[in-house]
Amino acid sequence: MKRAALLSLVALAAACARDDFASPAHGEGSSGLETGSSGAPIDVDEGSTTSGGESSTGPSSDSESSGGPASSSSSGGEELAPWEWDLPENIPAPRVPEDNPMSAEKVELGRHLFYDQRLSANASQSCASCHDQARAFADGLALPTGSTGETVPMNSMALVNVAYNATYTWASPLELTLSDQAALPLFGDQPIELGAHLDEDAIFARLLDDPTYTSLFADAYPDETDPVSWINIRRAIASFERTLISVNSPYDQYTRGDEDAISESAKRGATLFFSEQFECFHCHGGFNFTHSTVHEDTAFTSRPFENNGLYNVAGTGQYPPAGRGLYRFTLDVEDDGKFRAPTLRNIALTAPYMHDGSVETLDEVLDIYAAGGRNVVEGPYAGDGRTHPNKSSFVEGFELTEEDRADFLAFLESLTDEEFITNPAFSDPWK
């Protein structure tokens, strides 16, 4: 079966299942529990992590739709204050879904929800448990652990400029908005992350009993009689996450004319990075340092996934079962090991690297790309990823001198945005 047709069937199945799973207690919002954790075969053993597990709810009728204006009324009723993006001239505004316009009130509600452990069934974890501002909203672990103790088999992705992502999670082609994605950690069950489906009534009782939330929900959704609902929770979290924009690193300051913002070594590293010799910019180019990017002026949306030669188990062309990438959705062997290229902004803060957190340092990342992939010489996943048949043509390997290495690292470190990781607007409001 052709890839497009199979994806359509997956999306249709997800939509049908989602219609059957609307919360009976609260009437609206999809839970994300419809197809196991992958959005494809039910027996998939992958995670549904907010960090990027290969799971899916697919676009839904109550979810955000792509495109549309940056701000408007909350739901077509009472007008909220217009939202204004405070961005440098060389950075385009994000694409904002028509059914989830931005407002300061919704962002503030989303910030409280993002940091609130009461949003998990056992009140032990919040979104921030796996997304720490000081780490550019990553967690510093190879693999995160959900609220019930289950290991999530995908590395927690940094939440940097997620407003510009063309897709969400490491490898799903179906999550196209932040609200879609938010359903996965809330309701995914293979593995359980926040586990909201385990006790929805208790979660809503906690929110309804807190006068802080009474005010926040009323302000964010002023034309709704009963604004506390899963879809409003998801949309508020999405609105907050959409504000997590990082565009003031030393390298940004350099590109805007401050010649002294970065070192001479970092400047040389930038030249190497954007050269055809090293090929990095093909997957990590543009203002967001990833080719999986959309914004309000995007005319044609591309949603690419790449195989970078990390694995080739026993020479079979397969990646380890817990992380086969796009293949889990298309069942096309040519998609085995293909993942979305993440942004490199704040990359020095977000170790360990790759979809499974198997690469500890940026030095090791450079070694892998210099070698044209990774040769796993022992263990259950032994095999030469350098010869993987799906490996990107841009991962061919290159000669790397010690000066080149130092310059590359200096450039990558110049992408660290101290303002982003200390901005009080992104911090925990409960502290």
Residue-by-residue DSSP string for 33-78: -EEEETSS-TT------TTT-S------TTSPPS---SB--SSSSS
C-alpha of 327 from chain center: 18
Predicted local confidence at residue 408, as pLDDT: 98
DSSP class of residue 192? B
State the residue for tokens 């219609």. 19
Query: Which amino acid is located at 15 in the chain?
Result: A
C-alpha of 196 from chain center: 20
What predicted TM-score, i.e. pTM, was given to this entire model?
A: 0.86
State the residue for tokens 């690292």. 409
Predicted local confidence at residue 77, as pLDDT: 53
Q: What whole-number distance in Å separates Cα of residue 153 and Cα of residue 111?
A: 26
Give per-10-residue mean pLDDT for the chain (431 aa): 48 38 33 31 35 41 50 55 92 97 97 98 98 98 98 98 97 96 96 97 98 98 97 98 98 97 98 97 97 96 97 98 97 98 98 98 98 98 98 97 98 98 98 95
Burial class (CB in 10 A: 0-12, 13-18, 19+), 393: exposed
Q: Please state, as a whole number, how many other Cβ atoms lie within 10 Å of the Cβ of residue 389.
A: 12
pLDDT tens digit sequence for 222-251: 999 999 999 999 999 999 999 999 999 999
Beta-ladder partners of 194 = none
Cβ–Cβ < 8 Å for 218, 65 = no
Sequence length of the chain is 431
Q: Which domains does the chain show, CATH number per domain?
A: 3-246 (1.10.760.10), 250-418 (1.10.760.10)
Predicted local confidence at residue 292, as pLDDT: 97
Predicted local confidence at residue 59, as pLDDT: 35
Q: What whole-number distance in Å separates Cα of residue 226 and Cα of residue 304?
A: 40
